[in-house]
């Protein structure tokens, strides 16, 4: 094990290392699409794929007053994945409005 100066282990865990086809990062025109890196990262972290139906569900749950942590547990995803889908940082195909977090009220609501 290699520990850096901040106390973190810098060894690469070969079991968690994944290679990707560069085409996974391209949009329909062949241009690099940075948002695809978020999709891939979230799939690796959560090992879950959020479909459009689940994306709608999590937005509605957040807007109804449920916390991001509770929604994440409910849909089986990480909090960052929930926040990304809630705020529209996803490519889900549906017409449900995005929600945003209001720090002053500590709640989610439709934008």
Residue 17 belongs to a domain: no
Residue 39 belongs to a domain: yes
pTM (whole model) above 0.85: no
Looking at residue 23, what is its pLDDT? 81
Residue 73 belongs to a domain: yes
Looking at residue 108, what is its pLDDT? 95
What's the domain count of the chain? 1
Residue 8 belongs to a domain: no
pLDDT tens for the chain, 111 residues: list them: 566 666 666 555 555 556 677 787 788 888 888 777 766 665 555 556 789 999 999 999 999 999 999 999 999 888 888 999 999 998 898 999 999 999 999 999 998
- Residue carrying the six token digits 């891939």: 40
User: Torsion over CA of 111, 57, 55 and 94, rounded to 10 degrees?
Assistant: -70
Please tell me the distance from the alpha carbon of residue 68 to that of residue 63, in angstroms, as a whole number. 10
Residue 24 belongs to a domain: no
Residue 66 belongs to a domain: yes
Q: Which domain holds residue 46?
A: 29-110
On whether the CB atoms of residues 23 and 32 are closer than 8 A, the answer is no
Q: Report the run of H or E that residue 106 belongs to, with start and end.
A: none
């Amino acid at each position: 094990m290699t520990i850096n100066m901040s106390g973190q282990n810098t060894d690469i865990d070969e079991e968690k290392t994944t290679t990707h086809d560069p085409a996974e990062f391209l949009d329909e025109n062949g241009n690099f699409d940075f948002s695809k890196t978020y999709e891939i990262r979230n799939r690796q972290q959560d090992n879950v794929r959020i479909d459009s139906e689940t994306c709608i569900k999590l937005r509605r749950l957040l807007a109804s007053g449920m916390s991001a942590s509770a929604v994440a547990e409910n849909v089986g995803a990480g909090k960052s994945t929930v926040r990304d889908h809630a705020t529209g940082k996803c490519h889900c195909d549906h017409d449900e409005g995005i929600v945003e977090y209001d720090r002053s009220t500590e709640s989610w609501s439709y934008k």
